[in-house]
Every structure is written in structure tokens, then in C-alpha cells.
Amino acid sequence: MNRHESTARYLPSPRQVASMCQQIQATWTPKERARRAVRKSGRWVPPQVRVSDLGLGSDRRPSLD
């Protein structure tokens, strides 16, 4: 018998998952709830990156060609 055979699998029902989610979310502060909120903007927005994050230095700009 290997170690996988000796452990029982716990597979919660969809109702149990929903109940646990509600219990966890009930402990969230309004700030945490806002942080975790999924917002649908209705349109795709490309990621924004600051040039300074590219590590090119303040005097260089990336070439677009």
C-alpha cells in the first residue's frame, strides 16, 4: 500500500464549498472585499508598464522599431 492509498480523499460538495466561502468572506473587511473584487470593465485594457520599470535608466527610451 502506498501513501496515496492510505489517505482518504475529501471532496466537498458544491453546497459545502459555497458555505465555506460565505464563512470566510464574512470575516473580510470592506477594504479586503474591495481588494478581492473582480471588476468587469466591458473592454480589454492593455497592461501598463512604466519605462522606469524596464531598467533602461532615465536617459534611455526603448526603440519602437
DSSP string, 1-61: --HHHHS------HHHHHHHHHHHHTT--HHHHHHH-----SS-------GGGGTS-TT--
- Do the beta carbons of residue 23 and residue 34 sit within 8 Å? no
Whether the predicted model's global pTM rises above the 0.75 cut = no
Euclidean distance between CA atoms 24 and 33, whole angstroms: 11
The answer to whether the Cα torsion of 30, 33, 34, 40 is positive or negative is: negative
Write the pLDDT tens digit of every residue in 41-64.
678 888 888 888 887 765 556 667
Residue bearing the bigger pLDDT, 49 or 3: 49
